[in-house]
Amino acid sequence: MEFKDVIQNRHSYRSFTDRPIGLATLEAIVSDAKQAPSWANAQPWQIVIATGEVLAQIKDGHRLRSRRGVAGNADLTVAHRTEWTAASRNNIATWNGDLSQHLLANDAQSSYGQTQDNLFNAAALVYLVLREPVNEWAIFDLGAFSQTLMLSATNHGIQSIPAYEVVRYPDALRETFALDETHRFIMGIALGYRNQTAINDFRSQRVANQNFLTIKD
Ligand SMILES: Cc1cc2nc3c(=O)[nH]c(=O)nc-3n(C[C@H](O)[C@H](O)[C@H](O)COP(=O)(O)O)c2cc1C
């Protein structure tokens, strides 16, 4: 795929088909992702991927907790809206409004919640784990790893979504993978082949460069 096509074709997809992703493909995507830069080449990431039976168990547990209203306790603090700048709050409000309108127009209002409960019916869940001690630069490095991973997935014809929802219950994940408290489940990315469904047709906007870009010469 042309680089510009890879960039333009990466979107957050929220509903995947039952088609599995081959292990060799997952390995290839992770091999691309590890080319990301990191602080002094620290490569702080630990990557845990769930597929098959383990994935099915994780999805069942997640759906149960979510539908029972069990509060999430993600390893990173969920920022209150007042911890975002006015500009970001405005972008978030625009996104919320656009998404609501899209779902209403397609008579699919309940689909957003359903996709979250079902972890997007992902074919694979990629967990981005950091070992304690965690520092802010390592979190930056994980962002670079994540974006490279998602672009590589797109290049392999696989869609993705980075989602807080995937790491909402990290204690259960540590138990599933027999990992101790020093393993922080910072973020998760769902991968799969896209379903033909209204929620997957939603496209988020971007603000004009002048809203955030300064170039001085
Ligand atoms: C840190 C982070 C957490 C996110 N968590 C969720 C989530 O829990 N559920 C969800 O549906 N989308 C989630 N998203 C996806 C964003 O809504 C999406 O990236 C944004 O609206 C831009 O749309 P795009 O990815 O299609 O370009 C998350 C994205 C990021 C980067």
Q: Give per-residue pLDDT as tens, 173-196.
A: 999 999 999 999 999 999 999 999
Question: Residue 212 domain-assigned?
Answer: no
Tell which atom from ligand 1 comes closest to the C-alpha of 112. Answer: 11
Tell which atom from ligand 1 comes closest to the C-alpha of 99. Answer: 21
Q: What's the helix, strand, coil split of the chain in %, to 5?
A: 50, 15, 35
Ligand 1 centroid vs 8 CA: distance in angstroms? Answer: 16
Q: Give per-residue pLDDT as tens, 140-156.
A: 999 999 999 999 999 99
Question: Residue 64 domain-assigned?
Answer: yes
Ligand 1 centroid vs 217 CA: distance in angstroms? Answer: 34
CA distances from 107 to 87, 100, 101, 104 (A): 30, 10, 10, 5
Ligand 1 centroid vs 32 CA: distance in angstroms? Answer: 22
| pLDDT value for 140 | 98
Question: Residue 82 domain-assigned?
Answer: yes
Q: Structural domain tally of the chain?
A: 1
Ligand 1 centroid vs 12 CA: distance in angstroms? Answer: 6
Question: Residue 208 domain-assigned?
Answer: no
CA distances from 181 to 35, 70, 125, 131, 155 (A): 28, 20, 20, 9, 35
- For atom 25 of ligand 1, the residue with the nearest CA is 12
- For atom 28 of ligand 1, the residue with the nearest CA is 163
What does the alpha-carbon distance between residue 199 and residue 207 come to, in Å, rounded to a whole number? Answer: 22
Tell which atom from ligand 1 comes closest to the C-alpha of 120. Answer: 11
Q: Do residues 119 and 57 lie in contact, with contact meaning Cβ atoms separated by under 8 Å?
A: no
Q: Give per-residue pLDDT as tens, 36-63.
A: 999 999 999 999 999 999 999 999 999 9
| pLDDT value for 26 | 98
Model pTM? 0.98
- For atom 31 of ligand 1, the residue with the nearest CA is 162
Mean pLDDT of 86-106: 98
| pLDDT value for 96 | 98
Q: Which residues, judged by CB distance below 6 Å to any ligand atom, belong to the binding site of ligand 1?
A: 11-12, 14, 95, 116, 161-165, 204
Ligand 1 centroid vs 216 CA: distance in angstroms? Answer: 32
- For atom 23 of ligand 1, the residue with the nearest CA is 204
Question: Residue 216 domain-assigned?
Answer: no
Write out the residue range of the structural domain in which residue 58 sits.
Answer: 3-201
Question: The domain that contains 101 carries what CATH number?
Answer: 3.40.109.10
Question: Residue 144 domain-assigned?
Answer: yes
- For atom 19 of ligand 1, the residue with the nearest CA is 12
